[in-house]
Structure 1
Amino acid sequence: MSSTVTDTRTTAELRGGLGQVLLATLASTAGFWAWMAIAPLQGLYATSMGLGQGQISLMLATPVLVGALGRIVVGALTDRWGGRRMFTFVLLAGVPAVLLVALAGSIKSFPLLVFAGFLLGVSGTIFAVGVPFSSAWYAPARRGFANGVFGMGMIGTGVSAFFTPRLAQQIGYLPTHLLIAGIMVVMAALCWFFLRDSPAWTPSSQALVPKVVGALKLRITWQMSFLYAIVFGGFVAFSTYLPKYLTTIYPDEVDAVGAGTRTAMFAVAAVVARPIGGVLADRFGPKVVSLLSLAGIVAAAYVVGQEPPEGIVTGVTFLLMAAAMGLGMGGLFAWVGPSTPPDRVGAVTGVVAAAGGLGGYFPPLVMGATYQAETNSYWLGLWLLVLVGALALVVAGMMRDARPKKA
């Protein structure tokens, strides 16, 4: 997914990289907000359209699926056209989708809402633009930090969870979506006029299909994809489904706004932990960070699976789970580069990013399919997370650690 980057660039040539990465992070925040625009209002859609568990799961999962698969294509286009152009394109392409969501909700059309969610997935591909863009601004030994900072843009999921239901209550459903669309247009303009590609970046003309096929032939691609599907996929899945989970399991204690607040706190914990994971991976090695992350996810999922009473225990457990996922996201992307042949890093990164998005697609469907109405419980879906996380621990433990070379 990243383009050819010359590792011998001097610090002077890469000066200003932090400002560029921070602007890219803001752009990513807007993209993630749009990507998750449906989830915070799922209760409204379920009530007004009379949706069942399966329909709700499909509604929530569709943007995630498109955002995941689209990352491979968008990553390849970023190789060719650069981050400045692609950030602008992805943000503008998401605007019609947000407006269609507003229309679907206004006329109470479930088919149109699912179609709008399909188009909304384009906004989720923004991650595939930012990883190569940010990496190119830093020397190899500091790319864990660069990707960690850019990864903080996923706070957009928390922004969506916190502000979308509140704005819908205060200014109205339609004005809320017009505001989101307006923010995306403004961010697209900022990217076009102020973002610039790193001097270490050069366009790639390599065809997409051979690039992806070459990446899929590497064992490291499949290993990293599996691990990232758990840490990032788990984050996306909980960011999408947590409002539904909380209002279902704790209907008397948590309303839609309260669920949005808790989901926003979940996102913030992961966002704060992500750059920490990248820095720790640069210093101590990505394998150690990844193992700690996976162990934390397994432990937290086990506690959540016991469905404790809503309160401090539940809140702290979800925050710890989010922090573990954030550490893993930062650590794993610092593991990809030094573990992959230099000419295939971009393609491998694109596939791994797509796998992370796919990891967020299936859990909402599984949670909806395994929900037990008689006992009002999602225990089976949560236990599946525990088992898959334990398997990931074994896989990560058997892999070779790798650290980036000092510049």
Structure 2
Amino acid sequence: MSTAIALNTGTSRTVNLVLATWVSAINFWAWNMIGPLSTTYASDLSLSSTEASMLVATPILVGSLGRIVIGSLTDRFGGRTMFIVVSTASIVPVLAVGAAGTASSYPLLLVCGFFLGIAGTVFAVGIPFANSWFEASRRGFATGVFGMGMVGTALSAFFTPRFVRWFGLFTTHVVVAVALALTAVTCVVVMRNSPSFTPNTGPVVPKLIAAAKLPVTWEMSFLYAVVFGGFVAFSNYLPTYIKTIYGFTAVDAGARTAGFALAAVLARPVGGALADRIAPKYVVLVSFAGTATMAFVAVFQPPPDVWSAATFITLAIFLGIGTGGVFAWVARRAPAQSVGAVTGIVAAAGGLGGYFPPLVMGATYDATDNDYTVGLLLLVATALVALGYTALRLHAHEPQAQPSKGDT
């Protein structure tokens, strides 16, 4: 009997983890609908580098800040409910962005892109959902697998420009909206919360305040802002970078960006699994060291296609390993009843880390020499600061934080 129950539980958690990863992927695709088309919008609407950067960065900002609230709501209502809510709420913004793009209106694209950020909040749902299904010794693996939902950015980078060429701009957005609707229906029918899930019915604001008082929240927020922020920034801005530096078409730039995103996605569960076996600190240290090195190499504009691809794919691998390592660290240290609140804040910090680099890249672009040296060197410096902070200030083995009154 006990064996049958164990097998049934194992099957259920596998099914729910796979489904959660798919929900994340389709929402990440929706969240990244503007990035792969940014060069097209910039050309059609005669946008400056700064205006194009704002267009790319706006959904990132909203998707990041929204995670703070969504994480706490997940503690209260459970991942199943919140996955359904986020997927459903993202449908109208996706269609609105398609309509704004069809109308060739930059102001409308900015406004609709603001609400498109809703899709980006999905990450704060999945981490506590995955945590609740798996024992502590496998949470690094579980959160790493869920993090593979970042593949949605690769899917968007590769398919969105092609869909636009094949079906048209608005029809492409309709396809993604339908996918979101079918995903929400699948969650209603198939998805279940873990039997170990216990709703935290306390008010949201006190939970957030309590989570904000935990040192682990801000320590992990800083680390995640670098690794996930770097991933988000490059996933959204790389099409512009590749077209500007190397002169590729939007479709070709999208394909290369998809390779970058896919490498980071595949590396994420590797980082999580490594962090289950060794102290997450060492996984994160390797990530920062590799990120700084490859960003410095990128300053010299490696020639296409082999050397530039090797540079950015290796950079993506180091960023992906870091994202898996950081959240394995969060799973170890955050109080069980406030994982959602802590996750929300940390995930928001990661998203915010991806908001500013596109703006910096656009603002520091040197049109005379056609290079992004300043922006890339700032990434090098940031990664080195994070490397030093992790090495000198954070301990490899730390006990799980204890909840304060707002967590209970």
Same topology, TM > 0.5: yes
Which residue is 1:402 aligned to? 397
- Which residue among 173, 182, 202 is the counterpart of 1:186? 182
Q: Supply the distance in 1 between the matched residues of 2:345 and 2:397 (Cα, whole angstroms).
A: 19
C-alpha contact (below 8 Å) 1:335/1:402 kept by paired residues: no
Which residue is 1:6 aligned to? none
Q: Deviations over 1:185-219 (max 9, x none)?
A: 11111011110000010111122222222222222
TM-score for the superposition, normalised by structure 1: 0.94
- Which residue among 25, 45, 58 is the counterpart of 1:29? 25
Which residue is 1:169 aligned to? 165
Say if 2:84 is the partner of 1:88. Answer: yes
Q: Supply the distance in 1 between the matched residues of 2:282 and 2:103 (Cα, whole angstroms).
A: 51
In structure 2, the gaps of 5 or more residues are: 401-408
Pick closer, same or farther for the CA change 1:404–1:197 going to 2, 3 Å.
farther
Q: Deviations over 1:331-374 (max 9, x none)?
A: 11111132334454332222111100100000000001111111
In structure 1, the gaps of 5 or more residues are: 1-8
- Which residue among 377, 386, 395 is the counterpart of 1:392? 386
Q: Supply the distance in 1 between the matched residues of 2:365 and 2:249 (Cα, whole angstroms).
A: 20
Q: How does 1:326-345 map to 2 (within 5 A)?
A: 326-345=320-339
Say if 2:343 is the partner of 1:325. Answer: no
Say if 2:104 is the partner of 1:108. Answer: yes
C-alpha contact (below 8 Å) 2:73/2:82 kept by paired residues: yes
Q: SS in structure 2 opposite 1:182?
A: helix
User: After alignment, is 302-311 or 181-190 more displaced?
Assistant: 302-311
Which amino acid in 1 is paired with 2:217?
T
Q: Supply the distance in 1 between the matched residues of 2:369 and 2:52 (Cα, whole angstroms).
A: 19
Q: Supply the distance in 2 between the matched residues of 1:348 and 1:255 (Cα, whole angstroms).
A: 41
Q: Deviation of residue 11 (structure 1)?
A: 7.8
C-alpha contact (below 8 Å) 1:282/1:403 kept by paired residues: no
C-alpha contact (below 8 Å) 2:140/2:331 kept by paired residues: no
Which amino acid in 1 is paired with 2:363?
A
- Which residue among 272, 283, 294 is the counterpart of 1:278? 272
Which residue is 1:380 aligned to? 374
Q: SS in structure 2 opposite 1:125?
A: helix
C-alpha contact (below 8 Å) 1:14/1:137 kept by paired residues: no
TM-score for the superposition, normalised by structure 2: 0.94
Q: SS in structure 2 opposite 1:377?
A: coil
Which residue is 1:248 aligned to? 244
Q: Deviation of residue 15 (structure 1)?
A: 4.7
Say if 2:260 is the partner of 1:261. Answer: no
Cα RMSD over matched residues? 1.6
- Which residue among 276, 291, 315 is the counterpart of 2:309? 315
Which residue is 1:350 aligned to? 344
User: After alignment, is 219-228 or 16-25 more displaced?
Assistant: 219-228
Q: SS in structure 2 opposite 1:50?
A: coil
Q: How does 1:117-132 map to 2 (within 5 A)?
A: 117-132=113-128
Q: Alignment identity in percent?
A: 51
Which amino acid in 2 is paired with 1:27?
V
Which residue is 1:302 aligned to? 296
